[in-house]
Structure 1
């Protein structure tokens, strides 16, 4: 590598070091909850690479060559040589701004904010709640009434990923009002076919059925969850005094009935999964 190229690389590494120092100070002021091990490893790897390259460029041989070159440049010489030396300095000065820009762009690209995972978002939104009860109709299932369940039961594909994330760290109970035993069987088969029971976080014994809306409210009161998710505004209003947090799922925007009651068009939209 030519001495001028080494000098340019050395200056670029110095700029990178300055920019990285600023970025690292900002980065570590952010909560480590938004960083994963891969991100931290990448930062450490970059820091090691920068230090190694800087030490390589600062080797004694290079230093003596730079000192020798400096002495040669200060020695009087012919006018042709002086003109050549001055001309070589012009492009170096002109490249300073472009090198700064490249260094800034490289560091900015590396230190892009780490996007939280769906699991992290779910935990944050549920405020680390450990027990959740959730209605099936209109939230997990496509159907919107017990009468529809007498014909079919279909799990909404868009909600499945969120549901499985909840089961990873929450004790989840699903519940619904049904009109007959066939509807109950149909719902369980739909959940099993969708893979809800394969993750290990949810079992069939935690899918509860009742014959009235008050029965579902009674289930929630007995379980005393941290969160209850429902589509019925009356039940949500009744439980507001007893349940820590609730999510009212409704395609129509409604007024917030209590400070501990949130609302969203769908469960997955509440977690920003769509």
Structure 2
């Protein structure tokens, strides 16, 4: 058992002294009375000893639960893994973009398209009205001749690859001069593939058809359906230029709204 508290012993002695004084005042001097009082005091002391007053305990302050080190580590690892996964995903996407760019089909050049469309043909004849020129009939050429700007690039590319002849029906010599001047100002003769001697003029549609048959081209480009029909048996391939889709006259006749459209330049 714990040693007797000093305060409790002092209290027991005070009780004993008070008891003796009371016994003395009342004349209780006999040994029995004194002994009884002493026993009472001792009993009180031992009672305090056995049942001491328990001091009140302070309730410990409740502290917020602290995350364990393992939980912190798990969260840290999860964060790192998430960031690492995001970084890896970004790198994978970048690598995939590089691969896609590398294997993306290369757009063919105009020169490649011309060769493919003309099936490697080496000689081409072409009408001027409605194909190279904006004018569509010989009467208009008596006033002016205008080269279509959108057809220039294709026409110059054809002259680099093929032996090209241009031809048209005119009503007078002045119309012929206007056509040659318009072609020269457009720069068609500067590429070296086409010269003025390869621009042919005639006075009838039949004469133009005769020019084509004599030259025996691989391709003839024409806007007159009657001439197309006449040449279908003699020319390997023909391209019919017309604003509206005509009836196909033969299996070797192809159709397009314009020369540049046929080569995919529109």
Query: For residue 19 of structure 2, what is the aligned residue in structure 1?
Result: none
Name the CA distance, whole Å, in 1 between partners of 2:79 and 2:175: 87
Bigger-Rg structure (1/2) = 2
Alignment equivalent of 1:187, drawn from 163, 179, 184:
179
Query: For residue 120 of structure 2, what is the aligned residue in structure 1?
Result: 128
Structure 1: where are the runs of 5+ without partners?
A: 1-77
Query: For residue 146 of structure 1, what is the aligned residue in structure 2?
Result: 138
Name the CA distance, whole Å, in 1 between partners of 2:240 and 2:82: 68
1:8-87 to 2 correspondences below 5 Å: none
**Secondary structure of the equivalent of 1:137?**
coil
Alignment equivalent of 2:168, drawn from 163, 176, 193:
176
Shift of residue 113 of structure 1?
1.8
**Aligned residue-pair number:** 197
Per-residue deviation, residues 194-231 of structure 1 (Å, max 9, x unmatched): 10000000000000001100000000000000000011
Shift of residue 256 of structure 1?
1.3
Name the CA distance, whole Å, in 1 between partners of 2:247 and 2:105: 34
**Secondary structure of the equivalent of 2:189?**
coil
Alignment equivalent of 2:210, drawn from 202, 214, 218:
218
Per-residue deviation, residues 98-118 of structure 1 (Å, max 9, x unmatched): 332222123213432211111
Name the CA distance, whole Å, in 2 between partners of 1:105 and 1:202: 45
The CA RMSD over aligned residues, in Å, is 1.9
Structure-2 change in CA distance of 1:90 and 1:155 (3 Å): closer
Alignment equivalent of 1:261, drawn from 242, 253, 265:
253
Name the CA distance, whole Å, in 2 between partners of 1:155 and 1:175: 14
Aligned: 1:241 with 2:233: yes
Alignment equivalent of 1:232, drawn from 212, 224, 237:
224
Alignment equivalent of 1:104, drawn from 96, 101, 108:
96
Query: For residue 23 of structure 1, what is the aligned residue in structure 2?
Result: none
Name the CA distance, whole Å, in 2 between partners of 1:110 and 1:258: 43
Could you state the TM-score of these two structures normalised by the residue count of structure 2?
Answer: 0.70
**Secondary structure of the equivalent of 1:127?**
coil
**Secondary structure of the equivalent of 2:183?**
helix
Structure-2 change in CA distance of 1:267 and 1:86 (3 Å): closer
**Secondary structure of the equivalent of 1:176?**
strand
**Secondary structure of the equivalent of 1:248?**
strand
Structure-2 change in CA distance of 1:219 and 1:85 (3 Å): same
Shift of residue 82 of structure 1?
6.4
Shift of residue 85 of structure 1?
6.1
Name the CA distance, whole Å, in 2 between partners of 1:250 and 1:157: 18
Shift of residue 81 of structure 1?
11
Structure-2 change in CA distance of 1:90 and 1:157 (3 Å): closer
**Secondary structure of the equivalent of 1:92?**
helix
**Secondary structure of the equivalent of 1:134?**
strand
Q: Which has the higher helix share?
A: 1
Query: For residue 164 of structure 1, what is the aligned residue in structure 2?
Result: 156
